[in-house]
Amino acid sequence: MEEVSRGLPDYERPPVIEVVCGILFKSIDALLAPHLGLLWEKYKPEYPFCREVPPLTPAIERFGEAPKIDLQLADVPPLPRTWFVHKNDNGIIQVQRDRFLHNWKKVRPEDEYPRYPKVIKLFKERLSQFESFLEENDLGKIEPRQYEMTYINHIPQGDGWTNLNEIGEIFPDFSIRTNKDRFLPKPERINWRTSFLLPNETGRLHVTIRHAKLRDSGIPLILLDLTVRGIGSDKSLEGMADWFNLAREWIVQGFSDLTGEDVQRNIWRRKE
């Protein structure tokens, strides 16, 4: 939701509150818990906090075949997903045996989204440090299986809507009829999911629209998540860069297609 080449939409006040860039790769079974302590030393000057969370299960995009669960069985015990958290809380490096992710996250009202060039630059730099660490410790190389990019948006009550009957003001494709003969009341909750194919089976754009409340204030909001997962035929560093640029284009254009013109112009201040 920011200025990009080829005339992509740009907003002065985009509602994005988190961006995640990641890579899923063939499991590095040689990576053990003690190695993560050594890895932390590389990141620790900027990422001084550490947490353990459950590992993510692979969700592989498949084309032309029935969906199936993708499990990688290994002879080693499961390893938690480790978070290295930035000193200002805005950045998170996530590492597990088959995945590397980097998050930018808004944690304070005054935090401004740093825009895609900086977000993708941080991801590439942190990933490069991880790859160097693997090489230095003879742990193997990353063999990409899939890339992923997610934009998470918060649209609080008051930003173009007051109740869920007005969901069509934000998302014209999902409007609710409110004629006088309608029997059903306004929705209590909303949870919509849909997906779109990228060209040449390079991935899918997954869109989720949900109703929620802010944990601290209890203010109602609409959560809009846009995730692209997939991979192209070129698995080189250049191919990875091209894939992320394509994913970003689909997310930005998808956001524009799915949201209403009035809220784009009056709330998020779309630039002409």
11 located within any domain: no
Q: What is the mean pLDDT of the chain?
A: 92
Question: What is the count of structural domains for the chain?
Answer: 1
236 located within any domain: yes
196 located within any domain: yes
User: Is residue 25's pLDDT more than 80?
Assistant: yes
6 located within any domain: no
% of the chain surpassing 90 pLDDT: 79
pLDDT at res. 6: 58
% of the chain surpassing 70 pLDDT: 93
149 located within any domain: yes
**pLDDT tens digit string along 65-89?**
655 555 555 566 788 999 999 999 9
Give the burial string for 126-164 (b: 16+ CB within 10 Å, else e).
Answer: bbeebeebbeeeeeeebebbbbbbbbbbbbebebbbeeb
CA distance linking residue 101 with residue 118, whole number of Å: 15
**pLDDT tens digit string along 190-216?**
999 999 999 999 999 999 999 999 887
2 located within any domain: no
CA distances from 98 to 11, 20, 74, 108, 199 (A): 35, 16, 11, 31, 26
7 located within any domain: no
5 located within any domain: no
pTM: 0.91
Q: Which domain holds residue 221?
A: 16-266
